[in-house]
Amino acid sequence: MILIHSLHLDTNIVIKFLKGELEESTIKQRFEKNIIMISSLVEYELRLGQNLSSNRNNKRILEEFLDSVIILPVTSEIVMKASKIQAKRIQKGKRLPFIDLLIGTTAIVYNSNLFSSDEDMKNLVEFGLELVS
Domain boundaries, the chain: 5-132
Q: Residue 47 corresponds to which amino acid? A: R
The DSSP symbol for 95 reads P
Instruction: Select 5-132's CATH number: 3.40.50.300, 3.40.50.1010, 1.10.510.10, 1.10.150.20.
Output: 3.40.50.1010
Neighbours of 122 (CB within 10 A): 13
pLDDT mean over 7-14: 93
Pick the closest to residue 72 from 44, 100, 101, 31 (CA basis). 44
Q: Residue 89 corresponds to which amino acid? A: R
List residues bridging with 38 in a β-sheet.
Answer: 71
How many residues belong to the chain?
A: 133
pLDDT of residue 80: 98
Q: What is the mean pLDDT of the chain?
A: 89
Query: 47-105 pLDDT, tens per residue?
Result: 999 999 888 778 888 999 999 899 999 999 999 999 999 999 999 999 999 999 999 99
